[in-house]
Amino acid sequence: MVDYSKWSNIEISDDEDETHPNIDTPSLFRWRHQARIDRMEEQKKAIEEHNTKKEEHKKKVNEITKKLVEAEKSNSDDVEEIRKSLKELKQEQDKLELDSEELQKKEKKTPWNVDTISKDGFAKTIINKKPPRPKEENLTDEEREARMKKFVRDNEKDLKHFGMLRRYEDSRQFLKSHGHLVCEDTANYLVIWCINLQMEEKTELMAHVAHQTICMQYILELAKQLEYDPRACLDVFFSKIQIAEPEYKATFDDELHQFKERIKKRATEKYEEAVKEAEEEERVQRLGPGGLDPVDVFESLPDELKQCFESQNIALLQETIGKMDENEARYHMKRCVDSGLWIPDAKSTKPDSPEDTPTENEEVTS
């Protein structure tokens, strides 16, 4: 259906027939026309100056970004100062973007006139509205975990396929045909996969999957900044990364390097945690009836008692206990029973005194 509303706001100075009899009509029309042209020139000049300022500011941001990358690599003392400068420049860049939007709105609202109403019919490019960014769901941690498990269960094969792709164009086409994978859950899965690969000491494969992880994170971050649906940012990201502008590529490579270092650090931490967990589980399993660890108890025994348990010689154990101080013997024998090092038979009394010395029916463990 044709929209005729655009014709309702047109400014044409020489279509007015009624003027005051004392006013020279042609002069009035010329004056109005010239005033309108002057306004248009001022508006055009303001837009050109703004665009020039934006380009200059963009160059400054790129220069500072490159300088920051070099400073971080060399561990310079100026890193924090450069970061602060870059942050201020980006804030100013955001303000310029807002000003651009205001200028565009103002230009769009400007009425047509005899100088602008006639243009080439096919010189205009029509751009569809940007797809809205999906709304974030307010889910609990349990709900997010359940959603993530279902997502992995339904898509693990495709997730692994994307993680193994090498060419940018292949990644672009695959994500375009699997748009549901362009999301935070994919990025989270790839991060976990990277950690597991590093723990398995598959560092080279981890580095490759890490590259795909950063690609996904860049796409999501771009969508967040532009408030687009992430799927609409695929062409933008892959075009930029394939053109490989020095500053953009340097930032990407630096982010990838830092990410791989974080993965290695986290994998080491998880490995140490797993070892400690296994050791603790083993310790709990070997606890004796009194809740003591036989290894700890054995290490605390005097050397002569250690020899008895190592040799499992009951006669020697009886002789050694008989020579020991009564309180010391009672202390060590009780700990041996509580840890399971010494297992009295069912008929024996509790070894709470040195007189409860081992008999041939009792068992010594080591």
Residue 127's pLDDT is what?
A: 55
Residue 139 structure tokens: 């889910």
The pLDDT tens digits of the residues spanning 277-287 come to 888 887 777 77
The region of weakest confidence among 45-49, 97-101, 123-127, 174-178 is 123-127
Task: Tell me if 25 sits within 8 A of 19, measured CB to CB.
Answer: yes
For residues 304-330, average pLDDT: 82
Q: How much is the pLDDT for 289?
A: 77
pLDDT for 190-245, tens place per residue?
999 999 999 999 999 999 999 999 999 999 998 998 888 999 999 989 988 888 77
Lookup: tokens for 100: 């651009």
* Domain at 141-283, CATH from 3.20.20.70, 1.20.58.610, 3.40.50.300, 3.40.50.720: 1.20.58.610
DSSP per residue over 62-95, as a string?
HHHHHHHHHHHHTT-TTHHHHHHHHHHHHHHHHH
Q: Burial, 351: exposed, middle or buried (Cβ in 10 Å; 0-12, 13-18, 19+)?
A: buried
Residue closest to 163 by CA, chosen among 135, 147, 187, 143: 187
Q: Is the dihedral of CA 221, 223, 226, 227 positive or negative?
A: negative
Average confidence (pLDDT) over 39-58: 80
The DSSP bridge partners found for residue 10 are 112
pLDDT of residue 159: 95
If you average pLDDT over residues 324-334, what whole number do you get? Answer: 84
Distances (CA, A) of 119 to 34, 109, 116: 20, 17, 7
Q: Helices (DSSP H) in the chain: which residue ranges? A: 25-73, 79-109, 141-164, 168-177, 184-199, 203-226, 234-243, 246-285, 294-300, 303-311, 314-323, 326-339
- Confidence (pTM): 0.49
Tokens of 168: 């940018």
Q: Which of 13-17, 70-74, 307-311 has the lowest mean pLDDT?
A: 13-17
- Average the pLDDT over each of 91-105, 193-207, 323-337, 343-357 and give the range with the smallest value: 343-357
Are 219 and 234 spatial neighbours (Cβ–Cβ below 8 Å)? yes
Asked whether residue 25 carries a pLDDT value surpassing 80, the answer given is no
Q: Among candidates 172, 256, 241, 149, which has minimal Cα distance to 207?
A: 256
Say if residue 350's pLDDT is above 50: no
The residue to which tokens 């630096």 are assigned:
254
